[in-house]
Amino acid sequence: MNPTTIELPAAELKTALTGLGKVISKRPTLPVLSYLRVTRNQAGNVTLQATDLDTTAIYAVEQPSEGPPCDFLVPFEPLSQLVKGGKEPVQLIREAKDKVRLKTHIGTSPMDQTLDTPPIREFPPTPLVDGKPVALDARFRDSLRQALDCTATGYNRDWSQHVCVDTRYPEGHYLAASDGSHFFCANSFTFDLKQPVLIPDQSFLRWNKFMEDGVGELSVQTGRKTDAPLVQFKSGRWTCISKSGEGEFPKWKHIVADSKQARTRIELDPAAMATLLAGVPKLPCGHEFRHPVTLEVLGGTLIAKAKATDAKDWTCLILNGTKATGKAVCVTLNRDYLLKALRFGLTTVEIEDELKPAQFHEGGRRMVVSPILPPEPPPTQKPTAHSPAPNPQPSSNPPVSEPPSAQPQATSPMPKETQTSPTAAPPTETSPVKAVIQHIENIKDTLKGVLKDFAEVLDGLKQLEKEKKASDKEMDSVREKLREIQSVRI
């Protein structure tokens, strides 16, 4: 057969390979999934395509390429290595049914590589989505990326690994996501969709080059009874097609606090946001698996504080001048979620008490964060006739006094739904089932901490290895000098 050549600019090919590489798995389930599909149609338009069976990414090359229609596979990794550091155009040459040649120049020197390639019929077919497109803007793009950052990984609950385009509420449509410990939603959207859609957490959708200009389209292809619906995003020269989730996202409106409820409200200005972002990571107890930090409002002042396990005193970050209205109150949160809300630009914080979720919001975006509950006190033993009641003794370390308004008060429970909610108000009484669920959540948090500790140990070992190599190099240098000195004759 006659060789078929497609020439691509190096700069454009680098961008295309970066995006396509976010879909190609490092350990593909099928060998053919480590290849790119290169297609040129009758009009000379060239597309590059990658897939992992669940997600397909397609890049349309800017300039047409002269030549007959063709369709063949190119191995991704050798092509990616060839393009790195290069500035010259790259030629993809199909010489035979099972051979493809990659050709470019490094400086003035030609570089040529011939590789095996499987037949095109082994590559999965391109999904077709013909649903009515919905226009997207930069506000949707930014909200989607923030929602994707609030999904869970490795959980069995399918909805927690997706962002829901929620069209169930008549007052407006939402983007919603949760990992079970914190919940994010953004409203003020209007989608021409009949049913809610679950968008899978895909690294390609988080990529800053996708929807770079903030303009795009969303299309949904309703699946058959045995197939999940398909979700397609288009923006610029990129197309991303993914399988939608099959589960139902929980109803969540009841976890968002009613605006009529009495809560302490804190308005954060840019200076306060910057102070919290810089100071909260430096507070103690950051190594614990829950990364606790306490937000306290006292005398109209916001205080972020934490205390090491073996410490008697709190380390406090006092934000003077912060506008806070309401009663004195405090709540303990996972600092990772607090910092995430600040990075999202959620400038208003609302706290009801230490047992209720804290809420962060700005405009139509809102994040609800479950509190870290204080440990339950041990049950008190009632005195009997044979055991006299103990006399209370003064503590050697009395607790920090709080104003009367900061003492726990009776609160009405948040409304409950029959379905599982992304976050739930903590119960006043612990049933055996809820105790088991809480225990499982604690185990998951513990495992996260263990994985983090393993990562820190691994980093330490790598650093020791570097130091050992540097030390060995210094010793070799010293030995070489000693040999030189020994060889000197007087």
The whole-number average pLDDT for the span 249-267 is 82
- In this predicted model, what pLDDT tens digit does every residue of 325-355 receive, in sequence order? 999 999 999 999 999 999 999 999 999 999 9
Which of 3.10.150.10, 3.40.50.2020, 3.30.70.3400, 1.10.10.10 is the CATH number of 4-122?
3.10.150.10
pLDDT at 318: 94
pLDDT at 426: 43
The whole-number average pLDDT for the span 404-422 is 42
The whole-number average pLDDT for the span 24-33 is 90
pLDDT at 487: 66
Confidence of residue 400 (pLDDT cuts 50, 70, 90): very low
The whole-number average pLDDT for the span 167-189 is 90
CATH fold match for the domains 4-122 and 256-374+420-447 = yes
pLDDT at 290: 84
| CA-angle at 49, arms to 45 and 52, nearest 5° | 165
The dihedrals phi and psi of 58, each to the nearest 5 degrees, come to -130, 130
The whole-number average pLDDT for the span 81-110 is 88
pLDDT at 431: 56
pLDDT at 378: 58
Res 385 pLDDT > 50: no
Looking at the domain that runs over 256-374+420-447, which CATH code has it been given? Answer: 3.10.150.10
Beta-carbon neighbour count of residue 158 at 10 Å? 14
Confidence of residue 428 (pLDDT cuts 50, 70, 90): very low
Residue with more model confidence, 384 or 400:
384
The whole-number average pLDDT for the span 28-42 is 94
* Adjacency order of strands within the sheet including 216-221: 70-75, 35-40, 46-51, 55-60, 238-243, 230-235, 216-221, 134-136
Q: How far is CA 305 from CA 265, 282, 295, 423, in A?
A: 18, 10, 7, 24
Share of the chain above pLDDT 90, in %: 53
Q: How far apart are CA 236 and CA 234, in angstroms?
A: 7
pLDDT at 432: 59
Confidence of residue 398 (pLDDT cuts 50, 70, 90): very low
Q: How far is CA 427 from CA 224, 408, 415, 430, in A?
A: 41, 15, 11, 6
Domain ranges of the chain: 4-122, 134-251, 256-374+420-447
Asked if 220 and 231 touch (Cβ cutoff 8 Å), the reply is yes
Q: What's the number of CA atoms in the CB half-sphere (13 Å) around residue 342? A: 20
CB burial of residue 124 (10 Å; 0-12, 13-18, 19+): middle
CB burial of residue 241 (10 Å; 0-12, 13-18, 19+): buried
The whole-number average pLDDT for the span 127-131 is 89
Taking the chain, what is the end-to-end CA distance rounded to the nearest angstrom?
A: 77
pLDDT at 40: 96
Res 391 pLDDT > 50: no
pLDDT at 126: 93
Res 178 pLDDT > 80: yes
The whole-number average pLDDT for the span 404-419 is 39
The CATH superfamily assigned to 134-251 is DNA Polymerase III, subunit A, domain 2 (3.10.150.10)
Res 419 pLDDT > 60: no
pLDDT at 408: 39
- In this predicted model, what pLDDT tens digit does every residue of 281-299 receive, in sequence order? 999 986 777 899 999 999 8
